């Protein structure tokens, strides 16, 4: 589905009824990341999954008030809020983000806490990029400019999942390669710049007043599960789930277990709100 919101054509999926559950994808992916979750969770929640600017079917406006260089976690969070408003969703939502989607979820929480009933932080972390990390972003931006999406996708593919997933789930590996291969160069560059300049959310964690599910693959090669443990220790109402035989995409590598944890979290939340 597509909707025009504040000059942006936003593509999104929406299915189910109940508590709104917003799924925010990571980099350089798109909303199809969440298909196994929408299939399952739409039985108990109203699942909404947008394509972020420059990914999937949401174009990155080439000109206009917001150039790719000006993308930020706050802007992606604003896009999410505007989508919810356009869909007349006023009830507090559960915000679930994977990796960069988690950075956006934290930014959404910082700006629009009154719209949140719960958080799901998947394969993500709270801290900002280190100086070395920022330098690496610049190198990746240069590769994207010079060699295009395929080079980025080939660089990332061997690190996206757990070593065991490459051996046992070749069809999933192809699916992820295809998803990354669909990203546009401006979308990739815009999100790398946005991630590079994102603020540190560590100090936010102790003030998160809502139940938060932290879910992380034990074999995540991109973001260590130590980051998940650190967030869980700081957030007052945190539930930590470490997923075995999963890397950076636990929701695709272990969909049943991920859906079980999500469903348990939503059910608990429905009882308490």
Contact residues toward ligand MLT (CB under 6 A) are 26-27, 99-100, 195, 222
- How many other C-beta atoms can be found within 10 angstroms of the C-beta atom of residue 227? 19
Q: Smaller CB distance to ligand MLT: residue 8 or 160? A: 160
Tokens read off for 195: 């991630």
State the minimum distance, in angstroms, from the CB of residue 51 to ligand MLT. Answer: 14
Provide the 3-class DSSP secondary structure of residue 174: helix
Q: Smaller CB distance to ligand MLT: residue 195 or 266? A: 195
Q: Smaller CB distance to ligand MLT: residue 155 or 222? A: 222
Q: Smaller CB distance to ligand MLT: residue 52 or 245? A: 52
Q: Distances from the Cα of 235 to the Cαs of 8, 72, 88, 134, 213, in angstroms?
A: 34, 24, 30, 26, 10
State the minimum distance, in angstroms, from the CB of residue 99 to ligand MLT. Answer: 3
State the minimum distance, in angstroms, from the CB of residue 248 to ligand MLT. Answer: 6
* Helix/strand/coil percent split, the chain, to 5: 50, 20, 30
Q: Distances from the Cα of 179 to the Cαs of 34, 101, 182, in angstroms?
A: 12, 16, 5
State the minimum distance, in angstroms, from the CB of residue 227 to ligand MLT. Answer: 10
């Amino acid at each position: 589905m597509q909707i025009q919101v504040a000059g942006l054509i936003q593509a999104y999926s929406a299915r189910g009824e109940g508590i709104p559950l917003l799924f925010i994808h990571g980099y350089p992916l798109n909303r199809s990341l969440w298909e196994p979750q929408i299939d399952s969770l739409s039985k108990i929640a109203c699942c909404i999954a947008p394509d972020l600017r420059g990914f999937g079917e949401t174009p990155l406006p080439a000109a206009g008030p917001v150039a790719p260089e000006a993308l930020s976690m706050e802007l992606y969070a604003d896009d999410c809020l505007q989508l919810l408003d356009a869909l007349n969703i006023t009830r507090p939502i559960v915000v679930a983000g994977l990796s960069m989607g988690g950075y956006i979820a934290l930014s959404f929480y910082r700006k629009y806490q009154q719209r949140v009933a719960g958080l799901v932080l998947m394969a993500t972390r709270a801290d900002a990029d280190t100086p070395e990390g920022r330098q690496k972003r610049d190198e990746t931006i240069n590769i994207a400019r010079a060699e295009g999406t395929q080079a980025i996708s080939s660089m990332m593919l061997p690190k996206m999942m757990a070593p065991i997933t490459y051996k046992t789930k070749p069809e999933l590996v192809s699916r992820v390669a295809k998803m990354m291969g669909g990203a546009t160069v401006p979308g990739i560059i815009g999100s790398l710049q946005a991630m590079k300049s994102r603020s540190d959310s560590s100090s936010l964690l102790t003030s998160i007043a809502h139940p938060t599910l932290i879910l992380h693959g034990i074999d995540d090669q991109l973001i260590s599960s130590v980051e998940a443990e650190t967030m869980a220790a700081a957030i007052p109402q945190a539930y930590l789930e470490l997923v075995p035989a999963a890397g950076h995409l636990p929701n695709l590598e272990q969909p049943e277990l991920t859906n079980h944890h999500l469903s348990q979290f939503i059910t608990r939340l429905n009882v308490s709100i």
